Amino acid sequence: MKNLKTHAFGYLCTFLLAGIVFSSCSKTEKKALAVAVRDTTITVKNSFTELFVDSTELTRFLKSSKNDSISSQIQSFYNHRNYQFAWFFHDGLADFATTFLGMQNDYIHYSGDSSLYNPGLVSRVDSLKQLKSVNPKDKSVVNTELLLTEQFFKYSSRAYAGDHRINTQELDWYIPRKKINTEGFLDSLLKNKGKNLSAYEPVNRQYNLMKEKLLSYYQINKDEEWPALTAADKKYKKGNSYENIPEIKRRLFVFGDLATADSSAVLDTALVSAVKHFQMRFGLKQDGQLGTSFFREINVPIQERIQQILINMERIRWVPAQPATDYLLVNIPEYKLHVYEEGKLLFDMNVVVGSEAHSTVIFSGTLNQIVFSPYWNIPPGILKKEILPGIKKNSNYLAKHNMEWNGSSVRQKPGPKNSLGLVKFLFPNSYNIYLHDTPSKNLFGESSRAFSHGCIRLSEPKKLAEFLLRKDSTWTDEKITTAMNLGKEKYVRLRGKAEIPVFIGYFTTWVDQYGNLNFRNDIYGHDKKMAERLFSKNDLL
């Protein structure tokens, strides 16, 4: 490319898990696309148009194609139609041909990806707009018909599935890309004559919400000067006037945090509220103070924010549309777990995720076990680096930490001081990552919460247990509390529909359900890696 506070995730949380599978580190082999059988039941008498592509012309066109996947899609598309024209009627070029090229131009404009632009095709379409009668044997007409179909499949693959030259696993993203039915999308476009696109467009709703914000940031970047703001020498006090307050108010108004334009230099109630709103959008402590973190975020160049939005829009292209199921979503940079019931946000809670040195893996799975009063089986890496050196220094180390040898490994006994707390939630995976309670409750008060060894600590684990067991009337509040404080491990297997998909995601910008554009820090450097791939390519196709 040439160039989601509570409920924060909103629409973004609803995008996932329709296509969840257990993923692994191994790459899957690409399978050749199956070509549909030609539907010969379609004839001139029952077809949408009396225009049909000559089979020899289609064969000739496909032989010249450099993309086997797209060639297969084109062949299947026309086989399903028994070679009916798609973009022309007897009386001229279909209006939705222009609609499609407008969609493509829109994508090129907001994405900055000009590699899709095909000036020759645009010229052909422009020259054929004036046709009043279409000859299906006219080579110019046939070639334009086939080129439009080819271009549509290229566009759909790029705009809705993302850049396929990006290896997501190299970016530590172990969730299979969504698959889009480009033929079905084109059929819908034709059937609806290019209208009501949002009803059948194969993209998560979050994508278009972010696109609107992206366009507004392009305008801000064009219209506004953005010099660095410097904090005052003294601590800001409400009611006082400061030289840089007018510029702070201007920026917060442009961003939508301040409701009314105000050029005064007074730090008033409206400004304090606007600062709190800004802090909410950036995951900062909402104290209304014009402190270091506030100036750090507001001074980030708009061009960098534009790139951040584009990076996350690319990630959203990889995920399916929103499901109407129960599921759990952790957004790592947001430090939040979002709990969904039948596709609607029920509640969320703060979490602690892996530190930069022990980053939490981006993957998906299915939660099927609750373990009350768990042991903590010390992972080999922690045993080697922390526990064994501790034992060497202090022979009473294990007893002091309520630990014991378990064969050749060490485990921590159940109890309130157990590092996993009073309950853990398992979704089998090759990364040994799970959700769990913690005795270190103070960490949830921090605005940045990347402290763990990779697993995800929950601020309200009992609430999650209640949600997962809510349909089993035998699991009362009292019974859950008793199980959490049992002092010995108790496994509860979730079966059938009680199992629930879990998604561990990584999004540093999104639009929440209130229409606010949120930003978070790139805590693992994944955005940086994406930028190196996205913004250094001249030819993405």
Q: Which residues contact 479 (CB under 8 A, 6 or more apart)?
A: none
Q: Which residues contact 460 (CB under 8 A, 6 or more apart)?
A: 349
User: Hunting for tokens 């992972």 — which residue is that?
Assistant: 379
Bridge partners (DSSP) of residue 93 are 88
Residue 277 is a catalytic residue: no
Going by DSSP bridges, is the β-strand pair 327-331/336-341 parallel, antiparallel, or unpaired? antiparallel
Residue 356 near residue 524, CB atoms below 8 Å: yes
Tokens coding 219? 């305008």
Measured in degrees and rounded to the nearest 5, phi and psi for residue 309 equal -65, -45
Residue 74 near residue 150, CB atoms below 8 Å: yes
CA atoms within 13 A on the CB side of 533: 16
- Predicted TM-score of the model (pTM): 0.81
What pLDDT score was predicted for residue 115?
86
Query: CA dist 133 to 129, 304, 307, Å?
Result: 11, 51, 47
Measured in degrees and rounded to the nearest 5, phi and psi for residue 328 equal -115, 140
Tokens coding 130? 């004036």
Bridge partners (DSSP) of residue 23 are none
Sign of CA dihedral 407, 408, 410, 411: negative
Tokens coding 373? 């009063």
Residue 25 is a catalytic residue: no
Annotated catalytic residue within 13, 277, 401, 455: 455
Q: Which residues contact 254 (CB under 8 A, 6 or more apart)?
A: 220, 224
Residue 335 near residue 352, CB atoms below 8 Å: yes
User: Hunting for tokens 């596709």 — which residue is that?
Assistant: 343
Q: How many CB atoms lie within 10 A of CB 308?
A: 20
Q: Element (H or E) spanning 302, and its range?
A: helix 302-317
What pLDDT score was predicted for residue 33?
66
Measured in degrees and rounded to the nearest 5, phi and psi for residue 429 equal -160, 160
User: Hunting for tokens 């913690």 — which residue is that?
Assistant: 438
SS3 189: helix
Residue 253 near residue 491, CB atoms below 8 Å: no
* Cα–Cα distance for residue pair 31/277, rounded to 1 Å: 49
Measured in degrees and rounded to the nearest 5, phi and psi for residue 467 equal -65, -45
User: Hunting for tokens 């707390």 — which residue is that?
Assistant: 421
**What would you report as the CA-atom Rg of the chain, rounded to the nearest whole angstrom?**
28
Annotated catalytic residue within 338, 401, 436, 526: 436
Q: Which residues contact 75 (CB under 8 A, 6 or more apart)?
A: 35, 36, 58, 62
- Provide block-wise average pLDDT over 10 residues at a time, the chain (541 residues): 41 42 34 77 80 94 89 94 93 92 91 88 92 93 96 90 78 75 86 82 85 95 89 91 96 97 97 98 96 96 96 87 83 95 93 86 92 94 93 94 94 94 94 92 83 89 98 96 97 94 94 94 93 66 35
Sign of CA dihedral 220, 223, 228, 229: negative
